[in-house]
Amino acid sequence: MTCFAKVTQKYGPETYGAYEPIYEKGAAESVDAAKHLREGLFTPDQYKSEIGLIREEEESAVMQKQAQTGLPAPPIVLPTPNKTSTP
């Protein structure tokens, strides 16, 4: 998770444009949730729930910003395919 936050911080402005602060905040909150899981403060189910809430907040904030500014939707970053899987 820490790597995800660092990548979001480094490449966020060019990737997400005006939406970058929203995604950077979500990445930071995800790192905190991962730390809580690692420290035993969250169970795996609590961690999944927290990540889900963070994603919902991101989506809501993006839709609100898009409605206020009329900006196009941010790009969707798709995961890279698993190269070890066979078709």
Residue 77 lies in a domain: no
44 is in which domain, residue-wise?
A: 13-69
Residue 87 lies in a domain: no
Span 33-43, average pLDDT: 96
- Name the domain count of the chain: 1
Residue 5 lies in a domain: no
Residue 85 lies in a domain: no
Do the beta carbons of residue 30 and residue 49 sit within 8 Å?
A: no
In angstroms, the Cα distances linking 85 to 77, 81, 82 are 21, 9, 6
pLDDT digits (tens, 9 = 90+) for 42-63: 999 999 999 999 999 998 999 8
Residue 18 lies in a domain: yes
Q: Is the pLDDT of residue 20 over 80?
A: yes
Residue 62 lies in a domain: yes
Top-confidence residue, 84 or 48? 48
Residue 74 lies in a domain: no
SS3 of residue 87 by DSSP:
coil
